[in-house]
Amino acid sequence: MRDSTLIKKCLEARKSAYVPYSHFAVGAALLCADGKVYTGCNIENASFSPTVCAERTAFFKAVSEGHKDFEAIAICGAPDSEEPTVICPPCGVCRQVMQEFCRPDFRVILYGSEGRTKVYTLSEIMPLRFDLMD
């Protein structure tokens, strides 16, 4: 699948973000090895700590449906009153979830408009990872 297709899906997923507290909306689209895509958005909560990021929503949807082999994720984020323009790198907790299920060459596509999109491998954004299975 083209990166541009995965980016379109993360932009679409971002529209479902539930962000009454931060007003910062994030979308993610996770590509499985078999070509299936799971999307996610961030979902906030009045008690704050139950808030879940877009990336983890996508991962947990996929894993809960039996998928554990992943190729790439596209992520976009911005205040909910704006369209995303600059990249929105994943938080440390989401990077830890990525490392649980993904190989070091898993691709992290960070959407930015007008040529600002950046692509990293998981090993680039999560060096010295904690993994009990290594």
Any idea what the Cα angle at residue 42 is, between residues 37 and 48, rounded to 5°?
A: 150
CB 9 to ligand THU: min, Å: 15
Phi, psi of 83 (to 5 degrees): -85, 145
CB 121 to ligand THU: min, Å: 17
CB 71 to ligand THU: min, Å: 19
| Residues in touch with ligand THU (CB under 6 A) | 19, 22, 24, 26, 42, 44, 51, 53-55, 90-91, 94
- Gap between the Cα atoms of 83 and 94, Å rounded: 22
Closer residue to ligand THU, CB minimum distance, 84 or 133: 84
Q: Residue type at 121?
A: T
Which helix (H) or strand (E) segment holds residue 99: the answer is: helix 92-101
Q: Which is it for strands 107-110 and 70-79: parallel, antiparallel or unpaired? A: parallel
Q: Which of the residues are catalytic?
A: 55
Distance of CA 82 to the CA centre of its chain: 19
